[in-house]
Structure 1
Amino acid sequence: MGLDDGDALAVLRDAVDPRLGSDALIAAFYARWFATDPSIRDLFPPDMTRQRAVFAQAMTWVLGELVARRAEEPIAFLAQLGRDHRKYGVTAGHYRTLGEALYTTLRRQLEDRWDDRLAGAARDALALCVGVMSGAADAEGGPPFRDGTVIEHLRVTRDVSLIRLQLDGPLAYHPGQYVTVQVPQWPRRWRYLSPSIPAEPGGGIEFHVRSVPGGMVSTAIVNETRPGDRWRLSNPHGGLAVDRAGGDVLMVAGSTGLAPLRALIMDMTRFGDNPRVHLFFGARFPCDLYDLKTLWQIASTNPWLSVTPVSEYATDPPWARDYPDVTPPRGLHVRQTGRLPEVVTRYGGWGDRQILICGSSAMTTATKAALTAKGAPPERIQHDPLTG
């Protein structure tokens, strides 16, 4: 029955589900894949912990959608993966050996339950995954990545840097999208970053990067990036956007989650008529509100934009004096004190707005929950995928 056998697909889904203890199966799969196709090992980082977790989550979701007979989103997701994986140097042969290694691993891990139904479901599901990814990669005509040179590194707070690059060629992206980035300090460890300016025909691009505790790549970017460093950027992802005909807008940005929202706002300044936009920009301390002066400059000439700064604490720590003063001229809303979800919902339910949330997974989840509890329709709330 193959893909029509929901029960067999559910067994496969449960086998790879990390919440049900799939660590050994996923580790065995990668060990088998690397042993049968040694050329693939150098495309991955030395530490495979995060890669195994991401793969398990993705396979669990894809198989779960197939169980529910929802194929449209998985196919779109797999096609995007195939296009994006070109930046790693993945070939059609690698996809073939991936499918073979995963099929063999599933058969051995489930040998006490393995029968023709499981075999057919596994064969067809893996053929779908491999076929869509490989086909989408082959159909993509543009380059798989762009390289660029760091031309400026500004340390704007203790843990936030602004990085400006000149790409070797222009990168086409929509404001609000994100890319994956590889830096020379950590080869083969790609991280998501959102451009903070609209795409430039000349290839200029800017990123806001926050050093995350325990984050090796973000910490290296903030502490070690130097002009002249060469970065590699993937093609863009994501669909965060403002419908200029869709009514007024609420934006909620936590720390460097400001970057994609600022790019959207800057793009909107090209038009004479825009919906009203109310941006809440939050951080831990007042000194962490690193881009208020830019926001003031935009708001001062665009009356449709209102900006409310928010900090969890009312005063700055002693180390704030070592970094640039972020206090803007008079004109923005008075800074509020508190956590973003509570401050935003003190202003109302925002149910009549387009709502865009950007920041950490914890902030995004808490803000979305607070807004929906106040009556905001979940379908009106946009955010990028939550990654942890």
Structure 2
Amino acid sequence: MDLDTTSSTAEYDRLIARHHAMRLRRQILAPAPAFAAAPGDGAHGRTGDRTHDDSYGGTCDGARDAAADQRLILGALGLVTPFADLIDHLYAFMFRRRPFLRALFPESMEFQQVHLERMFEYLIEHLDQPGRLSATLAQLGRDHRKLGVRPVHYEAFEEALREAIRLRAGARWTVELEGAWVRMLRFGVRSMVAGAESALTEPPYWHATVVGHERRRADLAVVRVRTGEPYPYRAGQYGTVEHPLLPHTWRQYSMGCAPRADNELEFHVRRTGPGGVSEALVEHTAVGERLRLGPPRGTLMPEDDTRDLLLVAGGTGLAPMKAIVEELVEHRPRGRRVHLFVGARARADLYDWPALAELGGRKPWLELIPVADDAAAGPRGRLAEAVSRAGDWSEHLACVSGPAGLVDEVRTRLAASGLPPTRIHHDPVLARL
């Protein structure tokens, strides 16, 4: 072992020791359940000093502080954007200063950088709604446990962010601008740490063995896996998947079946490009392969609403809709009707239609509507147009899944036709990352 490696390992050990010491200190000083302290508490923060205060809270004053920071960040956004350049500087500084952290990231950083760009955009856009933002980030923190991230690692991230902001802003850098960014980051960290610590009783990930692999098209496969322990998801949710060919690289896929007693579940995977997780799952996966699954996420299907249901699926967005229909076959509220629109470019692209047809063949409460460009597949026209023309959905509950552009188009048309936006459900943009 060379001196650089020894030094890095020793520094990593010191950071982890500090993390445990800080956690013990919090437990002693605040034995009641509370949000975890953010990185820097006790080292950088001072009560009452707004430059370092990282808690917006749920009060009106907290929301006003968050909105003020949002205005400050937006007003100076041109100093630090494009985010791609800011993030390049951030990671370069972080890995140079703390090289041991590089092992937590995948070999290719391209997807990670896009993920962080969207994270910054989401944080800034929703910063004036700290309550809603905190709930979303808590779920993200719960999911991040599978990456081996500890609260102390965020301290290194904050340090790198400060350096990147100063470098990008140059002579126009100000203490106020940096302070707003750091407060936003610390608020996000608090929420993510709280989510992670609330899930300490469940595994950070589940091992799964591939028990079936069916190529439905040249670019699409249905992958069936079985977990050793129950995977506690609901129909309509999704999980992240890691393939052994791409360590530390996780991608989101919706479960394509309702929960089963034998711990078996399926994913519908379309190959989206070369060298990624989707290619590994479609092209390089066989029965017996071992995958890892992150915690289930998403709230596509509300439990407390029993209105008639409108389901709209494009591409492999069919997976969560099929799971919802399977669950309704067993547990449908009396009198509830379901309309499922499935969009595809051509009849051949309706890859799971036989299974759907068999599922709904003797279910008078379920109407299946294929939408494709060839007449043989059924009603013609773009999916969003077909849905809006098909009837009055203003009294329904809608769930939409598929490519982001499709989801946005369907949402817009349904809202314009009188369906309240609060009853149009889809996975949030941040959760698609």
TM-score class, shorter-chain normalisation, is 0.7 to 0.9
> Per-residue displacement from partner, 1:149-196 (whole Å, max 9, x unpaired)?
111101112322111111121110111011111112322221110111
Please give the alpha-carbon distance, in whole angstroms, between the structure 2 residues aligned to 1:77 and 1:242. Answer: 16
**Match of 1:46, SS?**
coil
* 1:37 paired residue among 98, 105, 111: 98
Please give the alpha-carbon distance, in whole angstroms, between the structure 2 residues aligned to 1:366 and 1:105. Answer: 36
Give the paired residue count. Answer: 368
**Match of 1:269, SS?**
helix
- Residue 356 in 1 paired to residue 399 in 2? yes
- Residue 246 in 1 paired to residue 306 in 2? yes
Please give the alpha-carbon distance, in whole angstroms, between the structure 1 residues aligned to 2:177 and 2:236. Answer: 42
Task: Give the counterpart letter for 2:217 in structure 1.
Answer: T
The residue number in structure 2 matching 1:298 is 359
- Residue 137 in 1 paired to residue 196 in 2? yes
1:336-347 alignment runs, 5 A limit: 336-347=379-390
Distance change (3 Å), C-alpha of 1:266 and 1:10: same
**Match of 2:428, SS?**
coil
Contact 2:257 2:322 in 1 (8 A): yes
Per the TM alignment, residue 336 of structure 1 is displaced from its structure 2 partner at its CA by 1.7
Please give the alpha-carbon distance, in whole angstroms, between the structure 2 residues aligned to 1:86 and 1:282. Answer: 35
Contact 2:206 2:229 in 1 (8 A): yes
Please give the alpha-carbon distance, in whole angstroms, between the structure 1 residues aligned to 2:101 and 2:77. Answer: 21
* 1:208 paired residue among 228, 247, 268: 268
Task: Give the counterpart letter for 1:160 in structure 2.
Answer: L
Per the TM alignment, residue 205 of structure 1 is displaced from its structure 2 partner at its CA by 1.0
Please give the alpha-carbon distance, in whole angstroms, between the structure 1 residues aligned to 2:270 and 2:291. Answer: 17
Per the TM alignment, residue 215 of structure 1 is displaced from its structure 2 partner at its CA by 7.3
Higher mean C-alpha deviation, range 125-134 or range 10-19 = 10-19
Task: Give the counterpart letter for 2:424 in structure 1.
Answer: I
Q: Structure 2 length normalisation: TM-score?
A: 0.78
- Residue 266 in 1 paired to residue 326 in 2? yes
1:250-329 alignment runs, 5 A limit: 250-271=310-331, 273-314=334-375
* Cα RMSD after superposing both structures: 2.5
Distance change (3 Å), C-alpha of 1:17 and 1:80: farther
Task: Give the counterpart letter for 1:222 in structure 2.
Answer: V
The residue number in structure 2 matching 1:151 is 211
- Residue 128 in 1 paired to residue 187 in 2? yes
Distance change (3 Å), C-alpha of 1:93 and 1:271: closer
Unaligned runs of 5+ in 2: 1-49, 57-64
The residue number in structure 2 matching 1:82 is 141
**Match of 1:294, SS?**
helix
Per the TM alignment, residue 347 of structure 1 is displaced from its structure 2 partner at its CA by 1.0
Distance change (3 Å), C-alpha of 1:354 and 1:139: closer
Task: Give the counterpart letter for 1:216 in structure 2.
Answer: G
Contact 1:180 1:193 in 2 (8 A): yes
Per the TM alignment, residue 14 of structure 1 is displaced from its structure 2 partner at its CA by 6.1
The residue number in structure 2 matching 1:222 is 282
Contact 2:66 2:130 in 1 (8 A): no
Q: Structure 1 vs Structure 2: percent identity of aligned residues?
A: 35
**Match of 2:122, SS?**
helix
Contact 1:8 1:117 in 2 (8 A): no
- Residue 234 in 1 paired to residue 294 in 2? yes
The residue number in structure 2 matching 1:322 is none
The residue number in structure 2 matching 1:110 is 169
Task: Give the counterpart letter for 1:366 in structure 2.
Answer: E
Please give the alpha-carbon distance, in whole angstroms, between the structure 2 residues aligned to 1:64 and 1:345. Answer: 29
